[in-house]
Amino acid sequence: MEQVSEIIERPALMLPRLGEPAPQFEAVTTHGKIRLEDFKGSWLILFSHPADFTPVCTTEFMGFARLHPKLREMNCELMGLSIDSIYSHIAWIRNIEQNLGQKITFPIIADSGRQIASLYGMIMPGESRTETVRCVFIIDDRQTLRAMLYYPLTTGRNMDEIVRMVEALQITDEFGVATPANWQPGGDVIVPPPNTQELAEERVADKEVQCKDWYFCQKKI
Ligand code: BEZ
C-alpha cells in the first residue's frame, strides 16, 4: 500500500544565531526603558520565564538574584523577560522580597507585544502558544550572541551551569583555549589542535602542554 506521509505546516520560528550580533531591541523594563546597546562593554545574560507568580519561576528568580553580585564581578549583567505587564512584574518582585526575603536587583522586560520574544525565538508553540519558554542568551561585551540554552516550562534552570558557561566563554576569549566536558574554573583547558604537520610535531614536543595525542592536548592556566 502506498505510504502517505503527513506534512505538518508550521510557521517558521526565527532563532538568533551563535557568533552573530545579538538582535537589537529597546524594551520597557522594571528599571525604565533599556536598549540592548546600553550593555555594550559588559556581558549580559538575557533570560525569559513563562509567567510571573508561578512557583518554578519564583525559584529561578531567587537563584538569579543570588547570583547577581558574582556575575557583576565577572562584568556580566542580568535581565529577565516575560510577556507579563510591568505592573505584574513589580507586584511579583515585591511579593518575592516581602514573602521570601530576596530582593530582585536586575531589570525585567515587559514584552506584552512579544516583539523581543519573536526576535529571539522564545515562544515554542508545542510548549505554550502564549508564554515564553525558559531561554538563556549569553551576549558578550561586543554584543555577539555566544550561547543559547532552552528549557521547557516544567524544568527549572541550573544556575551553576549558566555561570559556568559565562566563565568558560570568558576563559576562551582571554586565553584562546577551549574547555572540556564538565570543566570547572581552575580545571585544565584544551589547546586548539594544530592544523599543519609541522605544528603537530611542535605540539607533541611542547613541555608546556600535556598531550594524550597530537590533537588532544591540555594545559593549566
Ligand atoms: C512555574 O514556573 O511554576 C511554571 C510556569 C509555567 C508552566 C509550568 C510551571
* Per-residue pLDDT tens digits for 154-190: 999 999 999 999 999 999 999 999 999 999 999 999 9
Closest CA to 105 of 43, 62, 162: 62
Q: How many residues comprise the chain?
A: 221
CATH of the domain at 216: 3.30.1020.10
What is the average pLDDT score of the chain? 95
Pairing of strands 43-48, 134-139: antiparallel
d(CA 88, CA 169): 34
Taking a C-beta distance cutoff of 8 angstroms, is the pair 16, 145 a contact? yes
Identify whether 48 is part of a domain: yes
Do residues 113 and 153 both lie within one domain? Answer: yes
Do residues 42 and 146 both lie within one domain? Answer: yes
How many domains are there within the chain?
Answer: 2
Do residues 54 and 110 both lie within one domain? Answer: yes
Q: What is the pTM of this model?
A: 0.94
Instruction: Mark whether 217 is an active-site residue.
Output: no
* Per-residue pLDDT tens digits for 14-29: 899 999 999 999 999 9
- Tell me the best of 60, 151, 153, 157 to mutate to test the pocket of ligand 1, counting ligand atoms within 8 Å of each CB and taking the most: 153
Residue nearest to atom 9 of ligand 1 (CA): 154
Domain region containing 48? 26-157
- Residue labelled with grid coordinates 597530537: 214
* Per-residue pLDDT tens digits for 48-86: 999 999 999 999 999 999 999 999 999 999 999 999 999
CATH of the domain at 148: 3.40.30.10
Q: Which residues line ligand 1 (CB under 6 A)?
A: 50-51, 54-57, 153-154
pLDDT at residue 12 in the model: 75
Residues 6+ away with beta carbon under 8 Å from 25: 35, 36, 115, 116, 119
